[in-house]
Structure 1
Amino acid sequence: MATNLSTTEIDPNRSRTLEEIQTWLIYQLAERLKIEPDEIDIHEPFDNYNLDSAQALILLEKLEKWLQRKYNPILIFNYPTIAELAERLVSETLPK
């Protein structure tokens, strides 16, 4: 059964797994670009999907809401693939 990750309930006390973050990013990027999620390669740079800076910032805003955290806007440019960005984000969502 498919889960709509864009509307998944938020639990701020729950850490996110690498797979959850990658899947969320895949679905958000696919939705924004109007392509199928299976067309997204997590190792492909965001630039190769013609994701402009405005779209990247919208994606980051949605990510902030989903994870209930604030991020520096350059984060998405410093970690230019889903794999790299998810790796960075999962380390921040681990329980302290």
Structure 2
Amino acid sequence: MSFPVTNPAETGTPVTFEVIRDRMVDVFARRLGVGPAQIDVDQYFNDFGLDSVWALALATELEKWLGIEVDAAALWYYPTIAEFSQYLVEEYESGGQAA
């Protein structure tokens, strides 16, 4: 995964839907070996080949990056980059656990 270790809030970067979405697009593009423009944020994760191992790795990196708990199972409840990004920003803003 390619998330920076530093929480974006620590660098003064607001944690917005766009920041999370764009970071996830970059991760998926690198993982799939395609350009970011080829990643459809409304396409289902399983269409990208997301499996439980990748989901756990992604959730772990998101936890480190955002500083909140992220349950890998949430990737199936919010099955697109757009939906999951919105979910994460709401959880981040509420200070809650994204589980």
Give the TM-score normalised by the residue count of structure 2: 0.79
CA distance in structure 1 between the aligned counterparts of 2:60 and 2:30, rounded to whole angstroms: 15
CA RMSD in angstroms comes to: 2.2
- Aligned residue pairs total 92
Q: Which runs of 5+ in 2 are unaligned?
A: none
1:10 equivalent in alignment to 2:1: no
Q: Which runs of 5+ in 1 are unaligned?
A: none
Q: What is the Cα deviation at residue 6 of structure 1?
A: 2.8
Residue 6 of structure 1 aligns with an amino acid whose one-letter code is: F
Give the ranges of 4+ consecutive aligned residues of structure 1 lying more than 6 Å apart after TM superposition: none
CA distance in structure 2 between the aligned counterparts of 1:56 and 1:39, rounded to whole angstroms: 20
Which structure has the highest helix share of the two?
A: 2
Q: In the alignment, which residue of structure 2 is the partner of 1:23?
A: 22
Identity in percent: 33
CA distance in structure 2 between the aligned counterparts of 1:59 and 1:30, rounded to whole angstroms: 13
Give the TM-score normalised by the residue count of structure 1: 0.81
Deviations 1:2-30 (A, max 9, x none): xxx73374255665101001001111111
2:59 and 2:71 in contact (8 A); partners too? no
CA distance in structure 1 between the aligned counterparts of 2:53 and 2:19, rounded to whole angstroms: 24
CA distance in structure 2 between the aligned counterparts of 1:12 and 1:76, rounded to whole angstroms: 23
Q: In the alignment, which residue of structure 1 is the partner of 2:69?
A: 70
